[in-house]
């Protein structure tokens, strides 16, 4: 509004001070405050102009600050909420999406939203205030000419609507290509070791070039529509300005246009022209706003897909905390498949609390999958899993996961100190407890020799550890958690036999008091288990102690022969099936 004042004052000064065609009156200002002498009126006009400009600058500073704080705060909240939304999703959600794609939602999509909130939304108010204000002031001066001056607005609106229809799908594909590009970047950076050893740098650059090419194409297609829009706007508003100039000019000269005539003073005409010019800017800015809005809208669709998605695995409304009494686990007629093909079929297992169950079988038999079902990382398709008689779908996920210690096949360390990594999940543990767990996992001596001991940074960008060292740290993490049920998925596979023996002996004390499932390829690891389940192609085919299974002379006995190097006595059927298994992988949807 302050920005609109100058044009009005200039027009008034021209008519009242120089031409004497109007009396010098200001809206909302009492007549007795207005000086009579033209020179004094001119001084007052200049004073008002200066005051409007200075006040306008202060107001604009405050306004910009408020909009920025508003947009930044929303950006922060949306980012944290979207991150929390992602964290809530089930494991499958992540295995079906690429990290880079999810990252681009958290980064560039949320930034696009912020740009609109900071620039676009404030500009919307500015445009409404300017165009509305100009309309009101002009209408008091000369109504017919005002109608003519504002006539381009509906034309511009129609043109803008057309633009949004054209640009929206193009922006969506730009955002998708950004996701694709960052997914590729992320993938090739995390796979750098393989790229180097395979000498595939050129190949990777080519692949990135392809993704960059697709992105370029999507961008150019959007740009083509975008740059047509602005000249279009200028032409429409330019024609509108010329019409105002023509009709207003004729009326100042007291010549009717198409039989229409409304008296117009030269100063009023000046006000009209300045406003007609001033009014072009908000309209052109409208293009940017619509553009920002469209980008933000497509970004929001993607953000919303994360925010509003209900995780498939979540607490039942009637969920109660899991109460562990003995730690007995029963798997009752469980069937499960990642996609159409069944990975596990009709599994029945009854494990009394405190027992150690070894799970063995050929690769791809479904061993890890069974552990994942026990931890409810996936839900079964049919059947039930119960812990001490409670269906794991009926208890809170938090209480279930607290009761379960899971050491996965691929131990993961976060960027942070060794201490933080061991403490991960048991955030209240004291340093002494951390060290005790580390001793148990045979990792204390090794950690002490690291440059900063327990405060050495590990994980990405930290000190590089061997697979065995990482595995021992994650075992320490689980020991510290002290859960009543343990799931060890090849937990000692990366260790040399000597360290494995050490860990086995210290884990021995740890596992005797709790129900433990141990997946192992190295059969010596599970040899002393209370019971060994042999999985083959998603079904339990053998069940018993090491001794029982050897005497059964089935799959377990053959696997045992492989491990002790007695390949010659393997039945040819066993070798044929091993080969077949390798050539029929499961497919996810």
Site residues for ligand ATP per CB under 6 A: 95, 338, 343, 361, 363-369, 585-586, 588
Residue (297 or 581) nearer to ligand ATP, CB? 581
CB 94, min distance to ligand ATP, A: 9
User: Residue 508, class by beta-carbon neighbours within 10 Å (0-12 exposed, 13-18 middle, 19+ buried)?
Assistant: exposed
Which DSSP symbol is given to 14? Answer: I
Measured between alpha carbons, how far is 253 from 107 in angstroms, rounded to an integer?
A: 60
Q: Closer to ligand ATP by CB, 11 or 364: give it.
A: 364
Nearer to ligand ATP, 27 or 585 (CB): 585
b/e sequence 556-574, b meaning 16+ C-beta within 10 Å: bbbbbbeeeeeeeeeeeeb
Closer Cβ to ligand ATP, 244 or 558, answer by number? 558
Closer of 365 and 559 to ligand ATP (Cβ) = 365
User: In the bound complex, what is the minimum distance in angstroms from residue 225's beta carbon to ligand ATP?
Assistant: 40
Q: How far is the CB of 407 from ligand ATP (least distance, A)?
A: 13
Q: Supply the minimum distance, in Å, between the C-beta of residue 374 and ligand ATP.
A: 12
State the Cα–Cα distance between residues 335 and 379, nearest whole angstrom. Answer: 10
Residue 463: Cβ-neighbour burial (10 angstroms; 0-12, 13-18, 19+): middle
The dihedral through the CA atoms of 78, 79, 84, 87 has a sign that is positive
Q: Which of 402, 394, 399, 400 is nearest to 317 (CA)?
A: 394
* Rounded least distance, CB 338 to ligand ATP, Å: 3
Closer to ligand ATP by Cβ: residue 410 or 455: 410
Which residues, in sequence order, are bridge partners of residue 385? 331
Q: What is the number of other CB atoms lying within 10 angstroms of the CB of residue 136? A: 11
What three-state secondary structure class fits 257? strand
Minimum distance of ligand ATP from residue 500's CB (angstroms) = 17
CA dist 125 and 309 (Å) reads: 33
Helix, strand and coil percent figures for the chain, each rounded to 5? 65, 10, 25
The nearer residue to ligand ATP, 308 or 363, going by C-beta atoms, is: 363
Q: How far is the CB of 387 from ligand ATP (least distance, A)?
A: 20
User: Helix (H, G, I), strand (E, B), or coil: what is residue 335?
Assistant: strand
Least CB distance to ligand ATP at residue 336 (A): 9
- 539 backbone dihedrals φ, ψ, rounded to 5°: -130, 150
User: How many residues are present in the chain?
Assistant: 589
By beta-carbon proximity to ligand ATP, the closer residue of 363 and 430 is 363
- Distance of closest approach, residue 413 Cβ to ligand ATP, in angstroms: 20
Q: Which is nearer to ligand ATP, 93 or 230 (CB)?
A: 93
Q: Are 455 and 420 in contact (CB under 8 A)?
A: no
Min CB(586)–ligand ATP separation in Å = 3
Question: Cα–Cα distance between 50 and 547 in angstroms, integer?
Answer: 99
Q: Kindly tell me which of 177 and 489 has the beta carbon lying closer to ligand ATP.
A: 489
Least distance CB 317 / ligand ATP (angstroms): 28
Distance CA 53, CA 59 (A): 10
Report the distance separating Cα 234 and Cα 566, nearest Å: 85
d(Cα 97, Cα 105) in Å, to the nearest integer? 12
Q: In sequence order, what are the beta bridge partners of 463? A: 458
User: Is the CB of 47 or the CB of 339 nearer to ligand ATP?
Assistant: 339
Q: What is the DSSP letter of 487?
A: E
């Amino acid at each position: 509004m302050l920005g609109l004042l100058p044009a009005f004052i200039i027009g008034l000064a021209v008519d009242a001070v120089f031409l004497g065609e109007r009396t010098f009156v200001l809206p909302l200002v009492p007549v007795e405050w207005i000086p009579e002498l033209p020179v004094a009126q001119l001084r007052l006009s200049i004073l008002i102009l200066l005051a409007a400009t200075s006040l306008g600058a202060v107001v604009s500073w405050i306004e910009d600050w408020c909009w920025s704080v508003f947009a930044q705060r929303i950006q922060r909240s949306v980012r944290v909420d979207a991150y929390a939304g992602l964290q809530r999703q089930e494991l499958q959600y992540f295995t079906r999406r690429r990290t880079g794609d999810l990252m681009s939602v958290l980064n560039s999509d949320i930034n696009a939203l912020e740009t609109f909130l900071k620039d676009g939304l404030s500009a919307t108010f500015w445009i409404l205030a300017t165009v509305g204000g100009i309309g009101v002031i002009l209408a008091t001066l000369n109504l017919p000419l005002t109608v003519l001056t504002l006539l381009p607005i509906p034309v511009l609106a129609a043109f803008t609507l057309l633009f949004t229809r054209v640009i929206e799908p193009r922006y969506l594909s730009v955002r998708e290509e950004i996701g694709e590009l960052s997914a590729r970047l992320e993938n090739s950076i995390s796979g750098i070791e393989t790229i180097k050893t395979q000498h595939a740098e050129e190949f990777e650059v080519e692949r990135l070039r392809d993704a960059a090419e697709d992105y370029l194409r999507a961008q150019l297609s959007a740009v083509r529509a975008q740059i047509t829009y602005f000249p279009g706007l200028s032409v429409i508003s330019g024609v509108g300005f010329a019409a105002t100039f023509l009709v207003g000019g004729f009326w100042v000269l007291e010549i009717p246009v198409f039989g229409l005539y409304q008296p117009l003073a030269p100063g009023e005409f000046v006000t009209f022209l300045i406003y007609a010019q001033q009014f072009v800017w908000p309209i052109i800015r409208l293009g940017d706003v619509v553009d920002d809005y469209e980008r933000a809208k497509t970004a929001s669709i993607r953000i919303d897909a994360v925010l509003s998605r209900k995780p498939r695995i979540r607490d039942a409304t009637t969920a109660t905390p899991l109460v562990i009494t003995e730690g007995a686990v029963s798997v009752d007629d469980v069937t499960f498949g990642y996609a159409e093909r069944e990975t596990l079929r009709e599994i029945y297992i009854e494990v009394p609390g405190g027992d150690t169950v070894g799970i063995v079988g050929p690769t791809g038999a479904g061993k890890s999958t069974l552990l994942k079902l026990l931890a409810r990382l996936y839900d079964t398709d049919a059947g039930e899993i119960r812990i001490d008689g409670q269906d794991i779908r009926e208890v809170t996920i938090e209480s279930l996961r607290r009761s379960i210690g899971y050491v996965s096949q691929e131990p993961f360390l976060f960027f942070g100190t060794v201490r933080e990594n061991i403490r991960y999940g048991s955030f209240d543990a004291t340093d002494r407890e951390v060290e005790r767990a580390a001793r148990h996992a045979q990792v204390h001596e090794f950690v002490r020799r690291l440059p900063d001991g327990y405060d050495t940074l590990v994980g990405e960008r930290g000190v590089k550890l061997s697979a065995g060292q990482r595995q021992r740290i994650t075992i320490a993490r689980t020991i510290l958690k002290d859960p009543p049920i343990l799931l060890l998925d090849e937990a000692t596979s990366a260790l040399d036999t000597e360290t494995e023996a050490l860990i086995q002996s210290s884990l021995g004390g740890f596992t005797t008091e709790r129900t433990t499932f141990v997946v192992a390829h190295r059969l010596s690891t599970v040899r002393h288990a209370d019971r060994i389940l042999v999985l083959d192609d998603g079904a339990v085919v053998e069940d018993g102690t090491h001794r029982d299974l050897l005497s059964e002379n089935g799959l377990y006995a053959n696997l045992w022969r492989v491990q002790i190097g007695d390949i010659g006595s393997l039945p040819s059927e066993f070798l044929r099936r091993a080969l077949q298994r390798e050539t029929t992988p499961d497919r996810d949807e």
